[in-house]
Amino acid sequence: MVGADFGVFILLTAAMGFSIFLSLPIVYSRRAQGRWAVGLNAAAIGILIFLLADVFSDASTILYPNGSYVANPWYSIAFAVAFVVAFAVLYFVDNIPRGSPLATEATSDGISGPRTTAIIIALGIGLQNLTEGLVFGGNWAAGSLGVVAVVFLGFFLQNITEGFPIASPFLGTNARRTVATMVGLFLIGGAPTLIGGAVGYFWTSPLLLVIFDALAIGAITYVIMPMLRVAFRPLETRAASLARNRLVYAGILVGFVVGFAVNAI
């Protein structure tokens, strides 16, 4: 049954999910080129690594009840299956044979093109935001207003940072990225917050949380690998590669720390 507060709930959930669009000005900044592009790409990887840890911390309280080191077997099976499904689906999307009507663009060395990589990243973040919406909706329905306030602020700020991983495949390239393209990608990443919120408002369960968390973890795990491959792709000279690698290491660390700091507020 829809409560009188449902409208307010939807507005807050939308604000939380669509705060991802607040990163657009930086993504389109002229400074997001050259070394800045390398640094932002690396920071995006760091943010995704933090999201992996953050999402698993949510699932772990269900998988390992009461702080036990013995996992619940049924929840563990559900987690493993959902993880594999998410990973396998993204692998299939990323590796459709060339010549197929569904094939996506790829670079000359076989690495997926910026648009394909951005779509995959957006899907992974969308699954993660699906879980965030579920948590927000469940706490709202339970009347835990103190928790709701903390969850809203944390997810609102965290979602701002999630625009960078989605945009990162385009940074430092000549790939065309229209405003419509970026808005579509950000909708893929942010809109699932509304879906998860609506589900959580009406019904939620530990099993559903575990499945959503595992889907998000499987997707983000797959997303990180091609990003690392591109980040550490050899350059023309060894000296250039070493200089770029140092910047990547620093960027990943900064991205992780930023994700942690935002989540801790």
| pLDDT single digits (tens) 242-264 | 988 999 999 999 989 988 887 77
pLDDT at position 83 is 95
Domain ranges of the chain: 6-264
| Mean pLDDT, the chain, whole residue set | 82
Q: Which residue has the higher pLDDT, 17 or 4?
A: 17
Q: Which residue has the higher pLDDT, 177 or 228?
A: 228
- C-alpha distances (whole Å) from 95 to each of 43, 104, 106, 214, 264 are 26, 8, 10, 22, 37
- C-alpha distances (whole Å) from 29 to each of 32, 48, 56, 127, 183 are 6, 22, 33, 27, 16
What's this model's pTM, rounded to 2 decimal places?
Answer: 0.77
Residue 82: pLDDT above 90?
yes
Question: Which residue from 147, 183, 191 is spatially nearest to 10, judged by alpha carbons?
Answer: 191
pLDDT at position 68 is 76
| pLDDT single digits (tens) 17-29 | 999 998 888 777 7
Classify each residue of 60-79 as buried b or exposed e, where b means 16 or more C-beta atoms within 10 Å of its C-beta.
Answer: eebbeeeeeeeebeebbebb
pLDDT at position 98 is 54
pLDDT at position 105 is 54
